[in-house]
A and B are shown apart, each in its own frame.
Chain A
Amino acid sequence: MGRYRFILWRPLQLVPVLLGVSLISFLLVHSIPGDPVRVLLGTRATASVIEATRAQYGLDQPLALQYLYFLKNLAAGEFGKSIIFKVGIPKLVVGRIVPTLFLLGYAILLSVVIAIGLAVLAALYRGRLPDQLVRVYSTAGLGLPAFWLGIVLIILFSIELGLFPVSGYGETPLEHLHHLFLPSLTIALALSPVLIRNLRASLLVEMEADYVKAARSRGIAEARIFRRHVFRNSLIPTITLLGVNIGWLIGGTVVVEQVFSVPGLGSLMVSSIFARDYLVVQVVTLAFALAVILTNFIVDIVTVALDPRIKL
């Protein structure tokens, strides 16, 4: 019963959270100095043209009123219009969601593959050279700035080796895989150290656990113990950690999309902030917030599915 209540309740909790996010993002974006109309019209537009344009987008109204209009329109399913691009926001956003989701999924996949591979390696060779190398990486990797790492990967894999495109997204799913490999790897190289440290530690704990010793004493093969017991039980905290990091991951895509010119939500966010395209920033922020909340929700459900002992 508790579980069903949880699944019903959580979506309802979304409403106040999203309201809060919308208010904060509204206040933040409006408190940045600068003015979308100026960006749009440039330095030589006359005051009268600036006024007319401002009035057209309701920017001449008091702030509180602008926020209420925004909420009212959202409630009516209207997301408003980009000041800079002069088109409806759904039109601007819809095409951008797919590359970002693709990038996120790809980056998570690579992170998990790298993290599991290296953590298992480190745990099995505890204290020996492979373990030490992995530990160096999992410490050094934490401080790698994504924009720098991206450029290094481009120089190495695109310019020197010619294996992957420098930037872009491609037309077909296979091309997406090819184009998004380096950006995903950039994110994965920055994210996997956290996962490795966590997974390695749990693997080591589990390997010494009593039930493992018991299994060993019963003569069960070491590989089987590792696969069936140690590995599976170690995975739960790592998955939780991955879920917690989804907000960080989204932040990572914003930077990485810029470096690799991926036409996703992250690059739209950056250009909209620079242009003070208020509505676009607000709507994209809400979309990101929604994504983070939903992912945490899903992670909770997955954790329960993996370990029925956990209560919600």
Chain B
Amino acid sequence: MTFDKPRRLLPALLVAAALVFAAAQAWAGGVLKIAREQDSTTFDPIYTILAPDIWVFNQFYSTLVRANADATGIEPDLAETWDISPDGTVYTFHLREAKFSDGTPVLASDVVFSLLRARDDEKSVLRSMFSPIDKAEAPDDRTVVLRLKGPSAPLMSTLAMFAASILPEHAVKAEGEAFGEKPVGSGAFVLKEWKRGDSIILARNPLYWEKGLPKLDGIEWIYVPNDNTRMLKLKAGEVDAATFVPWNQIKELQADKNIQVQLDKSTRMDHILVNHAHKPLDNKLVRQALNMAIDQKAIVDVVTQGFGTPANSFFPLDGMDYNPANPNYPYDPEKAKKILEEQGVKDLTLSFALVAGDTAHDQIGVLVKDQLAKIGVTVNLNKMEGGQQWDALVNGDYDIGVMWWVNDVFDPDEKAQFCVSGDPENRSYYTNYKNPVVSDLVNKAAVEQNPEKRKQMYYEIQRIAKDDVHWIDLYYSPFRNASRSNVKGFVQNPLGRYMLETADIVN
């Protein structure tokens, strides 16, 4: 700094303040302080799909069943056991003895109420995912029977997701929309205080059913939107953990012996949407040429500083039924150029929809523009505000555009339905991609009861989608968190859930 700092006037204040507050920074016991980049908006599990909301209320709601730690299968949660009828249409769940944090028992009627609310409430964001449920019944306090309209392979996965959180019927009815501020659940933690825009304080739920858990006395989520400030807070020891480590700070933090960086398996994938409704992008060979001209390795090295992996499928690396051997296009600008010539494509200009001010989008934009220039394609970087980019994609007002995806459920059905089925509502993630063979396979896989057969169907879907270039796969990347070295188990599962009931601070 080039100017004279006002040292002469401040030393007294500096010293006095430091002395007075030395005591205030004493160690806070078993409360895990987490600095995160966004604040919550609501704790009502059916009115949101925002990750910052879900990651917090995951800690105080239970579901009937839950995804296991690596999100490859189901394990019991409130339901100890379950039976499925041979035709796959009747699911019977037997509940364990559990209590809500207000002391009332978790009843089968609460389960029925919660699932039907997720299916029927007109503002329930993911209600279509619950539509396979025809009837839900509670023959006694500890038995829940779900009757389906037909067999549904992803149902258990859906029942393990945040929107299927089991809420106490009496509390939801008494509070109405205010329930989202005063949540009552049966999970490992309870909400103690929500200081909007500042912090969310959770305390251990003494009534939690799993013996010996949670290990922590509480959790404090602190809202620190600035990336640098968040990492500095961790370095200074003011928080125990911090989310969303910027890629360019990972190495520096790894070098700090007081800090550990967790790069956890994830279902995150970044890709370039291609608008099939615009000529000549309706031509499969042209799309293939574009794909071959894009150097995935260069992009992943620049954007994620080498911490990501080039993607060979639209299924996530750490997700169910991902095919690691799915054939990918090699980077081959010469061949790409030749294909374009053969197809008679000259002077192609593409409008690239990007989010302004987003570092990754800036980098991808520059690299793609440069790479496609080598095959004679001009790319116009159309940088927009986030909501505007989203509108451009939804309205089909783009040629290519950057997007990303993290799975909500571990079952691949949701992603296949949304991204390649050609469903008229979202038109394959607004790309207008439609292949009847793929649509048919997606529908068949959704009801296939044999896991091995189903897997083969998804392998086939991945292969055809890649061959069709429904979009251009970019890269997979891990979730990136950092914590002080005395924190154990500050990890996310591949769906993004923080597994904090088993986390701990050791001294």
Contact = CB atoms under 8 A, between A and B. Distances in A.
B38 to A, nearest CB: 8
A200 interface: no
A134 B3 CA distance: 8
Nearest to A56: B123
A275 B375 CA distance: 39
A133 B124 CA distance: 63
A168 interface: yes
Contact of B226 (A40, A114, A259, A276): A259
B174 interface: no
Contacts of A247: none
B233 A178 contact: no
Contact of B223 (A164, A166, A261): A261
Contacts of A276: 387
A177 to B, nearest CB: 7
Nearest to A179: B21
Among B14, B24, B127, B229: residue with most chain A CB under 10 A: B229
Interface in A53-74: 53, 56
A261 B236 contact: no
B425 interface: yes
Interface size, B (range):
35 or more
Contacts of A158: 232, 236
Interface string A211-237: 000000000000000000000000000
Contacts of A5: none
Nearest to B47: A86
B504 interface: no
B21 A114 contact: no
Nearest to B38: A271
A63 B204 CA distance: 47
Given A33-B391, A181-B17, A133 B4 contact: yes
Contacts, number: 162
A162 B19 CA distance: 12
A45 to B, nearest CB: 5
A43 B430 CA distance: 11
Contacts of A117: 6, 8-9
A117 B49 CA distance: 53
Contacts of B222: 168, 261
Contacts of B123: 49, 52-53, 56
A38 B49 contact: no
A279 B313 CA distance: 43
Interface stretch (B194-202, B439-447, B474-482): B194-202
A159 B232 contact: yes
Interface in B387-407: 387-388, 390-391, 403
Nearest to A170: B24
A25 interface: no
Interface in B28-61: 39, 41-42, 47-50
Contact of B20 (A151, A178, A274): A178
B177 A174 contact: no
Contacts of A45: 49, 125-126
A58 B115 CA distance: 28
Interface string B216-240: 0000001111101100110110100
A152 interface: yes
B17 A33 contact: no
A34 B385 contact: yes
Given A44-B49, A86-B180, A95-B195, A151 B228 contact: yes
B270 to A, nearest CB: 14
A34 B125 CA distance: 19
A258 B386 CA distance: 19
Given A49-B124, A86-B42, A175-B24, A140 B2 contact: yes
A147 B2 CA distance: 17
A224 B197 CA distance: 50
A38 B387 contact: yes
Nearest to B430: A43
Contact of A46 (B39, B128, B195, B387): B128
A92 B40 CA distance: 13
Interface in A156-212: 158-159, 162-170, 174-175, 177-178, 181
B347 interface: no
Contacts of A38: 387, 390-391
Contact of A263 (B17, B124, B198): B198
A113 interface: yes
B231 to A, nearest CB: 9
Contact of A42 (B8, B49, B223): B49
Contacts of A168: 198, 222, 238
B17 A164 contact: yes
Rank and list the top 6 A-B pairs by shortest CB-CB distance, nearest first. A34-B387, A263-B198, A33-B388, A137-B3, A42-B49, A166-B233
Interface of B: 1-4, 6, 8-9, 13-14, 17-18, 20-21, 24-25, 39, 41-42, 47-50, 122-128, 177, 180-181, 195-198, 222-226, 228-229, 232-233, 235-236, 238, 384-388, 390-391, 403, 408, 418, 425-426
22 contacts: A32-B387, A33-B385, A34-B386, A38-B391, A44-B49, A45-B49, A48-B122, A49-B125, A56-B123, A95-B196, A96-B197, A114-B6, A114-B9, A117-B6, A147-B226, A154-B232, A158-B236, A167-B238, A178-B20, A263-B197, A271-B225, A274-B386
